[in-house]
Amino acid sequence: MTDTRRKFITSAAAVTAASYSRILGANGRVNLVVIGVGGRGTAHVKGYGSLKTLCDISGVCDVNQAARERASALIVSLGGSKPKEYNDMQEVFADKSVDAVSMATPNHWHALGTVWACQARKDVYVEKPASHNVWEADRMVDAARKYERMVQVGTQSRSAAHIKKAAELLQQGVIGEVYMAKGLCFKRRVSIGRKPDQPTPPGIDWDRFLGPAPLRPFNELRFKYNWHWFWDTGNGDLGNQGVHQMDVALWGLGLNELPTAVSSTGGKYVYDDDQETPNTQLATFDYGRRELVFEVRGLVTGGEGASEKGVKIGNLYYGADGYMVLDGGGFKVYKGEKGELAMDEKAVREDDSPHMKNFLEAVQSRDRSHLNAEIAIGVTSAKLCHLANISYRLKRHLRVDPKAGKFISDAEADAMLTRDYRKPYVVPANV
């Protein structure tokens, strides 16, 4: 065990629930640190920066010094005080003045960071997908329950008014019995090309960036954003943009459980580059009387659904009496054999702040039922992405035991439900 890790465990163990019963921050505001302040983390800073009556951004944490400095300057420009800067998230968790953290790290850090935060009695907003694999998702739920933390997953659609209304209508029978939900992630992705390994640039803690992932030489393509396209750190576009629509598909079906079978095919077509994950993928999930279908297309494509150009990032629902087309712009309901337009709901454009506001209010109320995307809900859509990716990588149909959270008679597939964690960055089996 490293000295840093030993000191963190000792410090976290000394923190008692009683010490966190104090009044939150100044004037009841939540003292919050944003962990991971790259592209997505910058959006976190802006979102919380618009919620000054509920929180103070007291710190920023990133393995990249330049990113920390940019985020600090942004907070000041938004009218906040200059935040404390941390290189190591363990220092954040050991800081007793911090009430909550908002994590916009790469996917492979989501579970361990959340578990550590819960152990230190910090509430957590964690970006999607909730986890990098199936097994660690359950450890996140375990930690949230054991330490009685508010843990919100960054699937912001759960706080979007028009999507809430669409889900309610579907469950009320607006198109009759829903037999299929389809999620669409037709987000254009250009080739990442190829780049050689190189020495780690100054100001970047590459070891901490890799964390639970295998140790590799620094490569620019495995760092800023493109980490999504490598299995060590990301989950492809199915677990990037797609998990939002996967979550909405489940919501519309009224489900929060695993299927009995999964099958996924596809490939990385057209491009010859260093990307490992597919740019074209089709997945199907068997729920007995209902089916969930998901499709990823990163290449040039048209949309789907009943509109001139079709939906490219959204959801389609098919029922006994009609169908619904849903995306960020609103939803339409078509009824009857002729598919006549029966409802046309326009969305009110919103940023991420309603979802963050919902998190902060739950931190103050201490009632996890107030969370729109509580961790036990958020992990399910992530797990579906992971199950589909396992099927894709093994190139076969897989049967699932939804209660056990494992595959049926398939040790090779079961082994892919978790990963070999690089010490000392290990997600504990007993949180």
Q: What is the pLDDT of residues 163-207, one digit of tens each?
A: 999 999 999 999 999 999 999 999 999 999 999 999 999 999 999
Task: Round to whole Å and give the CA distance between 345 and 160.
Answer: 13
pLDDT at 25: 53
pLDDT band at 306, cuts 50/70/90?
confident
Q: Does domain 3-157+353-374 have CATH number 3.40.50.720?
A: yes
Task: Round to whole Å and give the CA distance between 103 and 109.
Answer: 9
- Least Cα distance to 124 among 109, 135, 423, 133 occurs for 109
**What are the sequence ranges of the domains in the chain?**
3-157+353-374, 161-193+226-345+383-415
In this structure, are residues 312 and 188 in contact, taking their beta carbons and an 8 Å threshold? no
Which residues are paired to 265 by β-bridges? 282
Q: Do domains 3-157+353-374 and 161-193+226-345+383-415 have the same CATH topology?
A: no
Average model confidence (pLDDT) for the chain? 94
Task: Round to whole Å and give the CA distance between 359 and 102.
Answer: 10
| Residue in the block written with tokens 């074209």 | 280
Percent pLDDT > 90 in the chain is 91
CATH entry, 161-193+226-345+383-415, from 2.40.33.10, 3.30.360.10, 3.40.50.720, 1.10.150.120: 3.30.360.10
pLDDT at 22: 45
Mean pLDDT confidence for 291-305: 96
pLDDT of residue 24 exceeding 70: no
pLDDT at 21: 42
- Least Cα distance to 371 among 224, 166, 158, 177 occurs for 158
CB atoms within 10 A of CB 418: 15
Sheet holding 178-185, edge to edge: 340-346, 330-335, 322-327, 313-319, 178-185, 291-297, 280-286, 261-267, 398-401, 406-407
CA dist list (Å): 142 to 74, 101, 129, 415 = 35, 18, 17, 21
pLDDT at 351: 83
CA dist list (Å): 149 to 156, 299, 324, 379, 409 = 19, 41, 36, 16, 36
Q: Find the distance separating the first CA and the last CA of the chain, reported in whole Å.
A: 17
pLDDT of residue 2 exceeding 80: no
In this structure, are residues 329 and 160 in contact, taking their beta carbons and an 8 Å threshold? no
CB atoms within 10 A of CB 56: 21
pLDDT, one tens digit per residue, over 124-136 is 999 999 999 999 9
* Residues 36, 109, 130: CA angle, nearest 5 degrees: 100
| Residue in the block written with tokens 């959006």 | 43
pLDDT at 350: 77
Provide the whole-model pTM: 0.94
pLDDT of residue 17 exceeding 80: no
Residue 77: in which H helix or E strand, if any? helix 65-77
pLDDT, one tens digit per residue, over 228-284 is 999 999 999 999 999 999 999 999 999 999 999 999 999 999 999 999 999 999 999
- Secondary structure (3-state) at 387: helix
Which residues are paired to 406 by β-bridges? 401
pLDDT band at 292, cuts 50/70/90?
very high
- Secondary structure (3-state) at 83: coil
What are phi and psi for residue 160, nearest 5 degrees?
-90, 125
pLDDT, one tens digit per residue, over 52-79 is 999 999 999 999 999 999 999 999 999 9
pLDDT band at 16, cuts 50/70/90?
very low
pLDDT at 28: 86
